[in-house]
Each structure stands twice: as structure tokens, then as C-alpha cells.
Structure 1
Amino acid sequence: MRLGTQNVRKSVLTNSLHRLSRCYISDLSNLCMVGKIGDTLEALELLDQQGVSLSRNDAYYLLQRCCRTEDLPAGRRIYRLMVRTGLASIAVLGDHLIRLFSMGGCLHEANQVFNSICEPSVYTWSAIIAAHTKLGEGARALDLYNTMQSRGVECDSYTYVAVLNACAQTTTLIQGRLIHDQIIRRGLESDPFVQSGLIDMYAKCGSIDDAIKVFENSPSSDVVVWSSMTSGYAKHGLGQKALDVFKKMKRHGVRPNHVTFVSLLEACGSIPSLAQGRQIHIQIMSYGFESNVVVGNALIDMYIKCGSLAEAHKVFNGLPNHDVVTWGTMITGYAHHGQGHEALELFDKMKQEGVHPDNVLYANILKVCGNMAALGQGRQLHAESLGRGLQSDFLIGNALVDMYSRCGSMDEAHKVFNKMPHRDIVSWGALIGGYARQSDFKMAQQCLNDMQLEGCKPDKVIFLIILAACSRKGLVDEGFQYFKSMSEEYGITPSIEHHTCLVDLLGRAGHLDDAENLLSNMPMPPNLKGWGSLLSSCKTYGDLERGRRCFDQMLRLDSRNASAYVQMSNIFADADMWADAHKVEELRKKAGAWKKPAQAWIEVDNKIHGFDVGDNSHPQSDFIYAKLKVLSRQMKEEGYVPKVELVVKPVSDEDKEDALCGHVEKLAIAYGLVSTPPGTTLRAAKSLRVCTDCHSATKIISKLEKREIFIRDAYRLHHFKDGACSCNDFF
């Protein structure tokens, strides 16, 4: 019965299509209502099967409808009908097809349509130039513009807007200025969209002064021009100037649109200024843009950059619709604020609601997996991306190499790396960084050599990775050789980060005099990280007086730096100077220098479990602490001595031992031990550096439990096996 009904409907549709084709009906709404099917693609399929020809008017209105609805499959069907009926060479139809294929990201098909047109009009040229620019082929767009000019086709304002966007994308300032001259000669400089394109082009090409000149000479009071200027300032990090333009815009009586507010929110995020961001939010509501998804995405991003994750989440929950950008912005915000667990949960919720991640979001969430040592979830995401046909995506390939290397699975990282059709400096950096984090300097060096054999020269980031690897291995001579080669062989001027790496290298190796001399004689003033690195080395080698100097320098730069107080307090504790240690603690409390509490995570059965210091909230807490109690007794039998001096509190040694048992990495490891079969490899992550007590304990645990244990902390990846660590206790 059901099949019969479908056949009747199809018969009615076919007969109606014949009548429509004979009458040359040019209204697609009538075509889609035939037989009450309302399916453009089905209607076109029947037209094709019945051999019905399209008239030029039929094709025109069909394509208009497809462009409005972004119906790519229907557009392809129409194009086949056009080719069969000889309409494919008509420019006015090709213009629509090029736009449609551009919307769908199909540049090859857009080019195919363009090449089939006998005499491309200015609109056709504008469409194909805009398509190449939109899809990231700005250089090719400029080539097309030059070809258009050589054929004597005069540009209109739409062409100039498209080609200015291409200049902005390729940051081709010289050609942008030449096009500006042509715009003036053609008398189009007063067109508000052209003015906006000029401002945007100059701003993105780094010439904010030229953008200002265009803006100030503009007679237009169009909101598009004002919005472009606010956007230009915002993108150059001149957030306050963008806000000043907005005030001037309101004085001129120009009503802002949603693009204006997006630029202003970007400006507030760049300063960052939470107070001004909140004021802009109020104005957004007064103008009725609070439900606009693009504005909502910008609001979420602004609140995240200004440090208010709660307000970002409130905006997220208040939006009537969430697109992939909305989800991605919120997920990335959680990750940026160290809440990777929440980021992964939100990512799962997004997929449950039927929103498919794009390549950018896949790359960001893979980074979260790497930071949390969530290898199982990372593998699942890898499989998902393959299932969605993204195996050759460059961004995802780099993210996968980085994720696997951060999780300590260098075999899988290398496997992905070797399959990548193209590799750039980021790909090599992810691989080299993976080996460096595991203290495998030999392989890091081999990858650096292989990279150069492929014709890829190291940049500043690669040298930072290599210098950090030298520091972790105590390779002083090699580190200085690489530092020297930066400028002498590659023409790279070492930054403060490279100098700080050398300070860390010297300090870790015990050359404290040289490290302090380097800090004092750098070509730029030393920063907190430099003094902090030397202070850490002073703790390692018990250099009290030098430690005092580093501590004073750090407080001079930032009196609320919690790490400085903790390190100095520990130095005094190591020297049994408890009164001084307690004084430093009091100074820390008075300054309000609160250290961010450590967190640790472990993945069991593809689920992340998080732990805070002294955590008792986990459902398996009783088993976790019982396991730690047993381990503590067994470890002492193996020679383990708890480093109670790390607990700077006026309590008994027994209480200090209990406090050490509550360290987050120990809780995570204990949970892994009681929740997985014997012999299973454990992978945990910690938000801060692994402490010396936990490091010593984990070495013995790996031997007692016959387990491989990976701990990824904020600085490196520790691989514990058979009572030893990959860092050789040099961390």
C-alpha cells in the first residue's frame, strides 16, 4: 500500500513536471509544491530521468533558490541539466553556480563552471575571485584579477571588494595600494563597501596608519565603514582605540550592527577589560542582538579572555542556538583555563546534540587529550576523524602527532607523522617536542637533522624545544652550540625565552655562578621565569644566599608570585631554618599570593578521573587511601624515606606523611592501580611539576607493582619502569 502511494505521487509529480516544462514555469516554489513532496532534489532527479529540458529562466530561478538554501546537491543536478541542454556557457547562470559551489567549499567545481563560460562578465569574474579568496586561495584570486585586467574587463565595486580581501588574506600591501589607486581613478572610493574593504586590507596588511587615513577621509556615515575601523584597531591589539571609535560613532548617530559589536568584544578581550566588556554586553541587549549566534560567540570569547568563565557559560546557556563555533569557543575556553575534564564533557554533549566537530575543534580537543594524558579518548577521536574523511587534514595530523607524543606513545605519533601527505615546521616541532619531553635527546636530534634534510629550516620554536631538551639532559656544551648556531647559521635573533633556557640549562647542571651572570648580562631585562628557574636550581643545590637574591628579584617584578614564596620557603626548610620558612609563609599570606592548587587526572576505561589535593570525594576514596597505606609500608621496606620537609606546617612528621599521601599524583596512581588489571600501563597528568617526594615514590611503585607509569606534568613526561625514570632524576 505504501509503495503504491509513492508510485502515485511520483506519477503525479512526473506529469506535473512535463506540464511545467512545457509552460516554462519559472517559479521554483511551484515546482517544489507539485505532488506535495517539496523536495527540490527529487524533482530535479525526475526531470533528469524524463529527459525534460530546462529553459534559461527555469535554471535561473532554480539556482537562485539553491543559493538561498545552500542546496549543493540540487545545484549539482541543475548543472548537469544545464550541460545537457547547452546552458552551461551562459554567464548569468554560471555566476550563481560559482557562488553556490563556493558556499559548499567546492573550489574545483566552481573553477569547472567558470572555465565552461564563453564570455565571463564582470559579475562572473567577481564571483570566481571571491570564491578563491573565501576558500583560502588569495594568491590565485590575485592572479585571476590580473588576468581579468589583461582581458580589458572593467572592475566594479564588488570586484574591488573581492580583490581587496585577497590582498588582506595574502598581506600583499604593495598590490593593495595599487588597487587603491585604481579605485580612486574609477571614482569608487566613496562606496562604503569599498571603503570598508580598504580599511580591512590595510589593517590586516599591518598598515594601521593607512587604514586610519581611509577612515578619516571617508565622507560616509555607513555603519560598515565604522565597523571596519573598530575591527582594524581590535586586530592590532589597540582595543581602547576601537572603543573610542565606537563612542565617536554613537555621537555621529550611526546605529551599530552585529558586526560592530563583534569587533568591540574582540577589542575588550584584547585589552583585556572585563568592565568594558560587560558594558558592551548591556548595549548588545539594548539593541536586541543578544540572541544573534555570531554576537553570542564573540561574547563567550570575550568573557573567556577576560577570565570570567562563569559569565561565558551563562551566555552559552542563554543562546537559543549553538553552532560548531559556539561549542568550540566554550570548549576551548575550558581547556584554556585548565579545565580539560569539563572541556571533554562538553565535547561529548555537543556530539550527543548532533553537532559535528570541524577540523579546528578536533585539533583543540586533541590538545586537551594530550595535556590530560587521555590516550584512550585521543585514539577514539583519531578514529572519528578518519570516519569523517579527515585523515589528510593538515591541522588534525599535526594535532594527532602532538597528542600521541604528549601521552608518551611515540610509536603512534611517528606512525601518524609518516602518513601525513605534507609536513611543516609544526609537524616536526610536535615530533621533536615529544622526544624532548621524554628526555630522548638522541631521537630529538635525529628528527632535527631529518627535518633539515627535507628542506625545512628550524625556527625560534624549534630552537626553544631543542634548548629545553639539552636542559633536561644537562647537555651544557650542546645547548650553547645550538644557541650560537641560531644567529650564526640561521640568522635568528635569540629572544628572552632562549636566554632563559640557557639560564635553566646552566642552573640544572649546577653552574649557578654562570647562570646568574647570564641573567644579569642578557641583552634584555630578565623576567620572572628566568629568576624563577635560577631559584629552583638554588633549591636543588642548597644555595641559600643566591636563593635570597633570586627571591628578592622575583618579588620586585611581582610581589604576588606564589611560586617564589613556595620555593624560598622550601630552601629555608631544607636548611632547617624553620623560623625563616614560616616568615616567608606569613609574607605570602600577607601578599595574597595563593598558589593554584594542583590537580591530577588519570584515564581508566576511556573515562577521565580527576583529583584535588587531599581529595576524599571520589567514590573509590576508601580503596585509594587503603592502597596508599599498603604502598607506604612496602616502599619504606624498599628504602623510601618520605620528604616531610616539603610540608611547611607546624605539625608532626606523621601528619606530614599523611599530607604527602594526599598529593594528587599519588591519588591518581593509586586509583589506577586498584581499577585496572595487573600489568596495565598507567598514564596520569598533573597541572604542576611533579614533586620530588612523588617522583621518588613513583619509581618504587613501578618496581613493586611491575607497572609502566607515565606522568605528564607541566614541564615534561616522566616514564617510570622497574624503579627508574626516563629523566634519570634530572628534573
Structure 2
Amino acid sequence: MTEPEMRFSNYTLSIVLKGIATSGAFRTGQAVHSIVIKIGGEPDDFVTCSLVNMYSKCGVANDALKVFEMIKSPDIVAWSSIISVLDQQGLKEEAAKFFHLMRRTGMRPNQFTLSSLVSAATDLGDLRYGQSIHACAHKFGFESDDLVSNALIGMYMKFQSIYDGYHIFNKMTNRDVVSWNALLSGFHDETSDQGIRIFRQMLIEGFRPNMYTFISTLRSCSSFLNIEYGKQVHTHIIKDNSINYGYVGTALLDMYAKCGCMEDVEAIFSRLTERDVFAWTVIISGYSQTNQGEKAAHYFNQMRREGVIPNEFTLASCLRGCSGIASLENGYSCIPWQLSLGSQLIYL
């Protein structure tokens, strides 16, 4: 394949690049790009569009942009790819700018373009822009597309436009676990009880919850201080063997700690295979909130012995728990960490 005398058709190169994009094999993609350059001449738009797609799927925005600028007439795959990678790399405003450029050319967006732009609007905190993308999706017949619908539900729930999120969810004919998670993500504080009902309905309809489902539902239980339903969610987590998956264990700790059930917190904490700073902070905070400063100091010191570096929230919790006279000596152990981190967020 690397012999200089060999030649590859544009079709062959595009097929190879498509496979690389699917696998995310960035180095192989760079090698194929080198072959395109060595062949000489000006590659056609079909190949350059495939290169943009490959770099975008590999998450390399700069290279995708460089190749995109070489395309005389970008197709919808190239436009969608560049908008998607800019969104994924946190360049939300750039993604919006490229969408406007695309629309000026008269190119119709597809579901991938629109879902990326809804995500960009969500992260930018710009509901009005998100609503304009929603209107565009409706205009071009993509409002009922699963990918676009899920993104729209997530956007509306983040902005607490619960009616709009529900409306789109109820219109969906092919809901999946992503749809349920998007809906669940918006229920907290005064609407937490609705989140619990949604989780129950999800189970009734036969959907299997995943990590994000459990985290959102446990957050609802924490906000609503519903320990009984929290225990039911805990049972599902045990059945699914998900306690050590992602932040599920930490969310479970937080739920029990918020409900003041520190014996349960200790039991779960002891079973976690990996205890990061967030898990340690939850147990320290839980003991501080229940006025058990000695316990808070004990776990803070154990955390240090295990080599986990505290953050400002850990320190604040430790100092708050040790603020009583009996625990003052333990509180002194937090002070060097406070100074070394230069925390400005701790107020006793």
C-alpha cells in the first residue's frame, strides 16, 4: 500500500477513510492523509470531505478545519462533521458560526448537524438560540428524529422548560434509554418527586436503566429526602452490578448522606473499589453535617494516608465538622492543605 508507484482511486481512499473514522484510528488516518498528499495534484472534494469526517470522528478539530478550508464545495457530511467536532471540543460559538455559513450556501442541515447545534446551545446557556434550532428542525422535518428529539429534551430540561421537554418526549415513537435520561436530567429540588415517578414509569415500560439514569434518580431522591425510594433505587443498582461504575457509587453515598443515614454511607464506602476525592468528600461532608466532627477528621486523615489529594470542598467540610472545641485539634490538620491549595472558598 505504501509503494510510491501505486495509485488509489478517490473512491478507494474515501472508503478507507470512512472505515478509519468509524474505528477512530487517528494515526492510520494521518498515514492515509500523507498518501493523499504524496499522490500529488488536487484531491477532489469527495476525498477532502472524507478527511474532514475522519479528523472530526477522531476529535482533532484543528486538522479538520485545515482540510475543510481546502474544500471548494463542502457536502452535508463535511459541514456536519466540522460542526460536530467543534461542539465536542467545546468550541460552541464556532459551531454556531459554521452553521450560519452553511445556511448561507443553501445547504439543508441533517439530524447530525441539528443535534450538535442543540448541544451547543445547551452548553452556551442560550435557550433562544436553541429554540431557533428547534424551529429549523421542524422546518426541515427532523423534529421527530430520535437524535434531534433527545437533544431537544435535554436542552429544555436543562433550562427547566419542563412542559416543552415533556411535549417532545410524549411525541416520540422510538424512545430509548437516552430519551428517558434526558427527561430525568431536569428534575431536581421542587420537581424531584416527578423524577422519581419518571424512573418508575421507565421500569414499568421495560427499559433498563444505565449509569446516567441511576445518578439522575438518586439526585432526585437526595433533593426530595426520599430514603425509602432511594433504597429501592439502590436495590436496582445491586441487581445491575453498577455500584462501581462511574459516579453511581458516589451518587448513592450522597443520597444516604443527605438523608442522614451514615451507617449506610460507611457500608457502601467500604465496598467501593475506587474511592476518588468526590467519594471521600461525601463521607466527610456527611459526618460534618450530622455533627460528628471526630468521624469527619478520621476520614480526612485516612484520605491523606491513602494519597488522595483533597479539594476545597473536602477542606471546607472537614473544617466545618471540626469547628467544635473538642475537635479543634483535628481541625488543625486541615490547615496546611488549605494553605497549599490557596483556597479562597472556605469560610467557617
TM bin, normalised by shorter chain, reads 0.7 to 0.9
- The match for 2:17 is 157
- CA change 1:501–1:486 in 2 (3 A) is closer
Cα 1:439/1:233, change in 2 over 3 Å: farther
The alignment status of 1:277 with 2:130, answered yes or no, reads yes
Q: From 286, 295, 304, give the equivalent of 1:452.
A: 304
- State the SS of the aligned residue for 1:187: helix
Instruction: For residue 414 of structure 1, report the CA deviation from its aligned partner.
Output: 0.9
Shift of 1:253: 3.4
Provide the rounded CA distance (Å) in 1 between the counterparts of 2:324 and 2:175: 44
The answer for the alignment partner of 1:499 in structure 2 is 344
- 2:177 matched to 1:318? no
Could you say which residue in structure 2 is the equivalent of 1:248? Answer: 101
Aligned residue runs from structure 1 range 348-387, under 5 A: 348-387=200-239
Does residue 149 of structure 2 align to residue 296 of structure 1? Answer: yes
Shift of 1:447: 1.0
Question: What is the CA-CA distance between 1:260 and the residue it aligns to?
Answer: 0.5
Write out aligned runs for 1:36-115 (5 A). none
The aligned length equals: 326
Question: Could you give the per-residue CA deviations for residues 617-639 of structure 1, whole angstroms, max 9, x where no partner exists?
Answer: xxxxxxxxxxxxxxxxxxxxxxx
Supply the AA of the counterpart residue of 2:125: P
1:185 aligns with 2:34: yes
Q: How has the CA–CA distance of structure 1 residues 432 and 481 changed in structure 2, closer, same or farther, with 3 Å as cutoff?
A: closer
Paired residue type of 2:143: E
2:9 maps to which residue? none
2:261 to 406, 409, 414: 409
What is the SS of the residue equivalent to 1:312?
Answer: helix
What is the identity, as a one-letter code, of the residue corresponding to 2:310? P
Are residue 268 (structure 1) and residue 128 (structure 2) matched? Answer: no
Counterpart secondary structure, 2:186: helix
Hey, what's the Cα distance between the residues in 1 that align with 2:92 and 2:237? Answer: 37
The 1:192–1:433 alpha-carbon spacing in structure 2 relative to 1, beyond 3 Å, is farther
Aligned-pair CA distance for 1:329: 1.1
In 2 relative to 1, CA 265–444 (structure 1 residues): closer, same or farther, beyond 3 Å? Answer: same
Query: Does the Cα contact within 8 Å between 2:21 and 2:58 map onto a contact in 1?
Result: no
Aligned amino acid, residue 302 of structure 2: D
Matched, 1:197 2:54: yes
Instruction: Determine whether 1:217 maps to 2:70.
Output: yes
Q: Secondary structure at the match of 2:247?
A: helix
Query: How far apart are the structure 1 equivalents of 2:315 and 2:64?
Result: 36
Equivalent position of 2:199 in the other structure = 347
Q: Indicate how the Cα distance of structure 1 residues 196 and 304 shifts in structure 2: closer, same or farther if over 3 A, else same.
A: same
Retained in 2: the 8 A contact 1:373–1:407? yes
2:159 alignment partner AA: C
Alignment root-mean-square deviation, CA: 3.1
Deviations 1:97-123 (A, max 9, x none): xxxxxxxxxxxxxxxxxxxxxxxxxxx
Identity score, percent? 28
Which amino acid is 1:250 matched to? R
Q: Which one of 56, 74, 82 corresponds to residue 229 of structure 1? A: 82
Q: Give the TM-score taking structure 2 as reference length.
A: 0.81
Q: What TM-score results when the alignment is normalised by the length of structure 1?
A: 0.41
1:321 positional shift: 2.6
Deviations, residues 121-163 of structure 1 (Å, cap 9, x unaligned): xxxxxxxxxxxxxxxxxxxxxxxxxxxxxxxxxx942564256
* Higher RCO, Cα 8 Å, sep 6+: 2
Provide the rounded CA distance (Å) in 2 between the counterparts of 1:285 and 1:232: 24
Partner of residue 295, structure 2: 443
Q: Which amino acid aligns with 1:455?
A: G
Taking the aligned partners of 2:324 and 2:254, their CA distance within structure 1 comes to: 19
Question: Deviations along 1:180-210, whole A, 9 cap, x unmatched?
Answer: 653431218935344223235455xxxx555
> What residue ranges of structure 2 are gaps of 5+ in the alignment?
1-14, 38-42
Q: Contact 1:435/1:444 (CA < 8 Å) preserved in 2?
A: yes
Please report how far the alpha carbon of residue 396 of structure 1 lies from its aligned counterpart in structure 2 after TM superposition: 2.5
Q: Tell me the SS of whatever aligns to 1:253.
A: coil
Distance in 2 separating the partners of 1:311 and 1:473: 52
Tell me the residue number matched to 2:281: 429
Q: Which has the larger radius of gyration?
A: 1
Change (3 A) 1:214 1:306: farther
The one-letter amino acid paired with 1:347 is F
What is the CA–CA distance in structure 2 between the aligned matches of 1:396 and 1:345, rounded to whole Å? 20
Q: Shift in Å at residue 274 of structure 1?
A: 2.0
